[in-house]
Amino acid sequence: MIQRPIQRGLLLVGTFISLTVFLSCAPRTMRSVVDSRGFLFGVAVRPGDLLDPKDSKLLKDNFNILVAENIMKLQYLRPTATFWNWSDVDNLVRFAEENRMKLRGHTFVWHNQNPPFINNLSDKEAALKVLTETITEVLTRYKGKFYEYDVCNEVIDDNGVLRNSIWMRTIGPEYIDIAFKTARQADPSVKLILNDYNNEYAGTVKGDAFYNLVKGMVDRGVPIDGVGFQLHMLAELPVNKEALQANIKRFRDLGLTVSFTEVDVRIKLPVTPEKEAAQQAVYEDLLRIAREENISCFVLWGYTDAYSWIPGTFAGYGSAHPFDQNKQPKKLYGSLRKILEK
154 is catalytic: yes
Q: Indicate whether 49 belongs to the interface with ligand 9MR (CB under 6 A).
A: no
230 part of the interface to ligand 9MR, by CB under 6 A: yes
Q: Which is nearer to ligand 9MR, 128 or 210 (CB)?
A: 210
Residue type, 161: V
Q: Where in 90-149 is the site for ligand 9MR (CB under 6 A)?
A: 112-113
Whether 274 sits among the annotated catalytic residues: the reply is no
59-88 residues in contact with ligand 9MR (CB under 6 A) are: 69-70
56 binds ligand 9MR (CB under 6 A): no
Q: How far is the CB of 154 from ligand 9MR (least distance, A)?
A: 7
Q: Of these residues, 69, 148, 200, 262, which one is catalytic?
A: 262
Using the rule CB under 6 A, which residue among 84, 117, 309, 314 binds ligand 9MR?
309
**Which is nearer to ligand 9MR, 10 or 51 (by Cβ)?**
51
CB of 32 to ligand 9MR, least distance (A): 28
> Which residue is at the shortest CB distance from ligand 9MR?
309
Q: Which residues pair with 229 in a beta bridge?
A: 196, 260
Binding-residue total with ligand 9MR (CB under 6 A):
10
Residues engaged in binding ligand 9MR (CB under 6 A):
69-70, 112-113, 153, 197, 230, 262, 309, 313
